[in-house]
Amino acid sequence: MEIKILLAEDDINLGFVIADQLRGVGYRVSLATDGAEALKRFSEELFHLCIFDVMMPKKDGFTLAKDIRKINKNIPILFLTAKTMTEDKIEGFRAGGDDYLTKPFASEELNLRVKSLLKRINVSMDESEEKILFVGIFQLDTENLKLKSAATETNLTKKEVQILKLLLKFRNQVLPRDVILNTVWGQDDYFVGRSLDVFITKLRRYLRPDANIAILNIHGVGFKLEEKK
């Protein structure tokens, strides 16, 4: 299977150059032009490595990395920046970055750093994204947007699937409200917050036939999908 890389770079021309370069050596690259778009794509697909420009609109690279780390603690993150100051590098590592590449850089150096980061986590080439996820008596078909049990089959919207996937990733753990909002909608203002509440209500209704499953509201923090054994 191809290694999938999420690239976030607001300079369109540079983004295309980097993406083409990485594709040329066999990687599959998804290019986002701002941090909010990158976080949304991260919630929709399985990636093996992230490459983030530091200075981006809507959500800078450091903030994006912190949001990614709330969802996935292990995926390698490589920062691209025009800054060379030690303080900026320290901030990048504190944000969850694994490596730092200063612009301009040679294509060979980028390739070596990508290979090094992938080797560090020992990425399996046959790793694949799970299309079917299980929770209680249900199975979530993420590809066909369906929630099934022996007795029922419910068609879900794309956002319902995204939210439920996140809750399942954090099964029996508290999932911060802002992580859901930023990941699914790319923002966390009042109006999308109200939309999230509506979606949570719908998901609770879909899961109601299984008394061992509950989506709890953790006041002031977020939600918790609790599955009793």
Given the DSSP bridges, would you call strands 99-102 and 77-81 parallel, antiparallel or unpaired? parallel
In a domain, 138, yes or no: yes
Instruction: Quote the pLDDT of residue 155.
Output: 96
Of the three residues 55, 90, 121, the one that is the final residue of a domain is 121
Using only C-alpha atoms, the chain has a radius of gyration, in whole angstroms, of 19
Task: Based on the fold, state whether residues 95 and 155 are members of the same structural domain.
Answer: no
- pTM, full prediction: 0.64
How do residues 138-186 score in pLDDT, each as one tens digit? Answer: 999 998 999 999 999 999 999 999 899 989 988 888 888 887 887 788 7
Taking the C-alpha atoms of residue 109 and residue 30, their distance in angstroms, rounded to an integer, is 20
Task: Based on the fold, state whether residues 187 and 214 are members of the same structural domain.
Answer: yes
In a domain, 126, yes or no: no
CATH of the domain at 29: 3.40.50.2300
How do residues 21-44 score in pLDDT, each as one tens digit? Answer: 999 988 999 999 999 999 989 988
In a domain, 127, yes or no: no
Domain count, the chain: 2
Task: Based on the fold, state whether residues 117 and 23 are members of the same structural domain.
Answer: yes
Instruction: Quote the pLDDT of residue 119.
Output: 76
Taking the C-alpha atoms of residue 126 and residue 138, their distance in angstroms, rounded to an integer, is 26
Of the three residues 121, 150, 184, the one that is the final residue of a domain is 121
CATH of the domain at 140: 1.10.10.10
Task: Based on the fold, state whether residues 40 and 107 are members of the same structural domain.
Answer: yes
Of the three residues 67, 98, 121, the one that is the final residue of a domain is 121
Q: Measure CA of the first residue to CA of the last residue in the chain; give whole Å.
A: 35
Instruction: Quote the pLDDT of residue 124.
Output: 41
Where in the sequence is the domain holding 27, given as residue range(s)? 4-121
Share of the chain above pLDDT 90, in %: 45
In a domain, 83, yes or no: yes
Question: Which has the higher per-residue pLDDT, 225 or 98?
Answer: 225
Share of the chain above pLDDT 70, in %: 91
Band of residue 6 on the pLDDT scale cut at 50, 70, 90 = very high
Tell me the mean pLDDT in the region 7-22.
93
Q: Return the exposure string of 60-81: e unless at least 16 CB atoms fall within 10 Å of the residue's CB, then b.
A: bbbbbbebbeebeeebbbbbbb
Task: Based on the fold, state whether residues 103 and 147 are members of the same structural domain.
Answer: no
Band of residue 129 on the pLDDT scale cut at 50, 70, 90 = low
Is the pLDDT confidence value at 89 over 70? Answer: no
Band of residue 192 on the pLDDT scale cut at 50, 70, 90 = confident
Instruction: Quote the pLDDT of residue 70.
Output: 84
